[in-house]
Each structure stands twice: as C-alpha cells, then as structure tokens.
Chains A and B, each alone.
Chain A
Amino acid sequence: TETFVGHQVLRIIPTSDEELQKVQELQDLEDLQLDFWLEPRGLGLPVDVRVPFPSLQPLKVHLEANGISYSIMIEDVQELLEQEQTEMLRSSRR
C-alpha cells in the first residue's frame, strides 16, 4: 500500500496572469510528481496540489522565488489517511 508520509496539499491562489501562467507550468514538471487536486482555472480560483515530501522544498522555493504565495491546506496527508482508517475500523467494530 502506498503511503503519503510527509506529503502536503498546498493551496495556491493565482492573483495575476503571470502567476497563473507559472502555476500552469508546474503541471509540466513531471519530476516533481505533483498531483493537482484542483487544476489551475483562473485568477482568484484556488489550485490545490498534493506534493510528495521530496518535492516540497524545491516547489516551495520555486513558488517563493516567483513571488507566488501559498498556504498549507493539509499538513500531512498520511496523518489524515490514518485517521480515516481508524474511523473505518471503529465503525466496522461497532
């Protein structure tokens, strides 16, 4: 089973055409193995992207270097998945 330890989901809200363009370009960076939960849609609309742990640092540096602000939507994906599993187990025992 694939684990997602240290993966974060970042929320980016592009506020200019330039930022939107930069965020769209991220989709082509296959090495980073980004998983776009919400794809770039337009100015002011959130882009949510799951970032594997090894790609976190380079991505954040890239965003900051381009002046693109972001927030952390999910701090640790695996932690949420474990909570989900625990709840399922609890429900099936019940």
Chain B
Amino acid sequence: GLPLSTSTFDYSSYHTLDEIYNFMDLLVAENPNLVSKLEIGRSTENRPLYVLKFSKGGSNRPAFWIDTGIHSREWVTQASGVWFAKKIVQDHENDQVLASLLDTMDIFLEIVTNPDGFAFTHTKNRMWRKTRSKHSGSICVGVDPNRNWDAGFGGSGASSNPCSETYHGPYANSEPEVKAIVDFVKSHGNIKAFVSIHSYSQLLLYPYGYTRTPVPDQKELHEISEKAVAALTSLYGTQYKYGSIITTIYQASGGTIDWTYDQGIKYSFTFELRDTGRYGFLLPAKQIIPAAEETWLALQVIMQHTLDNPY
C-alpha cells in the first residue's frame, strides 16, 4: 500500500513513520543528484534517526538546518516537513531564494526527530509528546526532548519529575535523539541557521528561553522575525507573534535553539505552527498544506537573510 513515487504521495494527509521513511527513500531515489539520506544515530528503541541532505555538491558547505516532530504529537510538523522536502526538490531550480541558497549552502531536514514518540502516537497514545526512554525508580516514561539540551539544563521552566510532560531528563543530552543532533552539529561545524518546528500557538521565537538576558543579536533576530512573520501572514492572514522565548511564551530551560545559539549558530529560530483555539494538536489534515505553505514563506525569509549575511 505504500506509494511508488513522491508524486502520488498524499501531502494533505497524516502518515505513519513507515510511510514517511518510505517517502524519504523515494525522494532520494528520484533525486540522487540533490538528495541523500544520512543516519545520524539511533533512538532509544533503536529506530534510525534520518536526516535528508539537499546539496548540489562541495564539501562541508555552510548549512541550513530544519527539524520537525521533536514533540511527537505535533503531527502537523512532521507533515509539514514532508511537504518542505518535496518543495525543495520541486523548486530548487526555479525558485530564486532556494536556487541561490543551494548554490552555496546545503539544507539538512530531519522530518521525524522523535521517531519512538511518533510511532507511539500512531499505535498506543495519540497524545504522547516525549521520547520513550525509561527511568530507574519511576514508572513514568520519556523525556521532553526540548528540555534536554545543554543550555541552562535543569533550570526553571523544566521539570525534574519523570512523570511531567516537561521532564528534562537525568542529564543533558541523555536522549539519543538529542545527542545525535548535538554530535552532528558539532562535527559538521558549519551550520549557519537552525530552525526547529513545533505546534501550535502561532509564534516565531528566537533565543533565549532559559535566561532573560537578551542575546547579542536580538535586534537582528527580531527584525528577521518581523519580516518572516509578515511573509507568513501574507498568504492566508494567519496571525503570528514573535520575540524571544522567555518574553513571548515562558521561561524554558534546556531548549534546542538556546543550545544552537550558544554553539555560535546565530540564526536560531523556533516556530509554533497554527492553530489558535480550535484544534490544538488535532489540526485537521486539510490544514497541512496551508500550514506548510505559509511556513515556507517565513523559512524563505530566514534563508535569504542567512544567505545575504554570511558570518
């Protein structure tokens, strides 16, 4: 029952992990000169952690990272990741921003950042958010992988209770899903932009979440966010707020983009996709494509800025 081509894949539907992994294989097979699939590690339950690499060649080029699905129940994010992958392939020659970006940079896209959690949402509990790691002395399972990074780890805005949805884990990078990205980012050493995609409160955020101290690049990141949100809103009128994590939502320690920013990746952002006040994590599948389309416009603004402002 799996599609034989990415042209017959239904982008306006939610898919299982197997279907998404099959989609990746098809995309690689159809575009061998542009797309390759890297395995950057294994999850707690030994599932492969795949990253799609879009590259026109060269070695260790500067790179633009996008990840979706670190919180497994946020299904619109994995679905958007699939759509982004196809969009990159379709537009890499004709779209001016994408074409120029790929002339000098690579794009890395991790569509299912938390595959154990995602599989669990399809088989056992649709509302599962965390990883699936076990903790001695507790009956509760999983760590919030967006509290497990080595950036203010264990501070305010994360829980030390393994039963909490925001449990930070026993130590920073305890989750193989997080450690794999940490190792990849460090070994690559030339990632210039890092965008981590969540749902659902219509926000575009930049660091920090663990401290009220503004980042040195606050003004620039704020201006990019303003432009990106304007582009996003221009398509369907979806209203986004933007700002630093701590001033816009709440204090959250051990978060992804705080760590990437502290690693020197200046253009670190996180999205919270639609919707506000109707469906939450249960966004109907007919909204996948509009959500992905509008987000893509914002991503393009960040891509263009990254390209125009090398550092």
Contact = CB atoms under 8 A, between A and B. Distances in A.
Interface of A: 1-2, 4, 9, 11, 30, 35-39, 41-42, 46, 48, 50, 73-74, 77, 80-81, 83-84, 87-88, 91-92, 94
A91 B13 contact: yes
B123 A1 contact: yes
Given A35-B165, A81-B126, 6 more contacts: A1-B125, A2-B125, A37-B280, A41-B250, A80-B279, A92-B1
Contacts of B279: 74, 80
Contacts of B13: 87-88, 91-92
A5 to B, nearest CB: 13
B127 interface: yes
B50 to A, nearest CB: 21
A30 B277 CA distance: 25
A11 B165 CA distance: 19
Interface of B: 1, 10, 12-15, 19, 123-127, 163, 165, 200-201, 249-250, 276-282, 284-285
B177 to A, nearest CB: 21
A74 B280 contact: yes
Given A36-B165, A80-B282, A41 B276 contact: no
- Majority secondary structure, B binding face: loop
Contacts of A11: 277
The 4 closest A-B pairs by CB, nearest first: A91-B13, A2-B125, A91-B10, A80-B282
Contact of A4 (B10, B126, B278): B126
A84 B282 CA distance: 8
A48 B276 CA distance: 10
B275 to A, nearest CB: 10
A42 B284 CA distance: 28
A39 B200 CA distance: 12
Contacts of B277: 11, 46, 48, 73
Nearest to B1: A92
25 contacts: A1-B124, A2-B124, A2-B126, A2-B127, A4-B127, A30-B163, A38-B280, A46-B277, A50-B127, A73-B277, A74-B280, A74-B282, A80-B279, A81-B282, A83-B284, A84-B282, A84-B284, A87-B13, A87-B14, A88-B13, A88-B15, A91-B12, A91-B13, A92-B19, A94-B10
